[in-house]
Amino acid sequence: MALAVERVREIAERVAASSGLEIVDVEFLGGGNARMLRVFLDKPAAGNAPLAGVTHEDCANFSREFGTILDVEDAMPGGSYTLEVSSPGLDRRLTKAADFARFVGSRIKLMTRQPVNNNRHFEGRLESFENGRLTLDLSVASHKSRRKMGAEAGKKIEIEFANVEKANLVPEI
């Protein structure tokens, strides 16, 4: 299965690159006759903006081209599957070091693998990401998150990237 995942991801990367898009994530869900392949796309922006945003048309074009290649190359063996292509959304997941570097200045929520100052849940503005360490300004956290963070709320904290279990952007309206 791991070989199939890598092959599908490689095809997705190739198709996305040819359209000026980037793959944010590829997920395989379900099994048997209820298999789903979910692909999240984004479009890099020019200049200092982190993203230009992917359009419905971008997703539709990618889906047609990618789906055709998957079927021709039989990269999804084992029968039928559903292909879902979409934007990662405003609360997109951050998984790679490059994601953290790109979204410096944004609000994020994260959970650590190991507690940092007796806490695993943090929300704040990502002030920097350097040398595998991220600095969060916790003073911008929501009221609910401030209660969870306790004494840490309102401070700045450094967290090792390797200790980040999961992280998401927090939409700012």
Q: Does domain 2-86 have CATH number 3.40.50.2300?
A: no
pLDDT tier at 25, thresholds 50, 70, 90: confident
- Structural domain boundaries of the chain? 2-86, 97-169
Rounded to whole angstroms, how far apart are CA atoms 67 and 80? 12
Distance CA 149, CA 25 (A): 29
Model pLDDT for residues 109-131, shown as the tens digit of each residue:
999 999 998 889 999 999 999 99
Q: Is pTM beyond 0.75 here?
A: no
Residue (of 9, 26, 18) closest to 86 by Cα position: 26
3-state SS, residue 94: coil
Banded model confidence at residue 3, pLDDT cuts 50, 70, 90: low
Q: What is the pLDDT of residue 132?
A: 93
- Does CATH number 3.40.640.10 belong to domain 97-169? no
In this prediction, residue 30 carries a pLDDT of: 83
Per-position DSSP letters for 128-169, written without gaps between them: EEETTEEEEEGGG--HHHHHHHGGGTTSEEEEEGGGEEEEEE
> Residue 50: its pLDDT value, please?
56
Is the pLDDT reported for residue 4 higher than 90? no
pLDDT of 161 = 96
Q: To 10 degrees, what angle do helices 56-72 and 2-18 make? A: 130
CB 94 within 8 A of CB 107: no
Helix locations, the chain, DSSP H: 2-18, 56-72, 97-102, 143-149
Which pLDDT band, with edges at 50, 70 and 90, does 47 fall under?
Answer: low
Tokens of 9: 């991801």
- The pair of structure tokens assigned to 7 is 């092959």
pLDDT of residue 78: 75
The number of residues making up the chain comes to: 173
Whether the predicted pLDDT of 133 surpasses 80: yes
Q: Which residues pair with 169 in a beta bridge?
A: 108
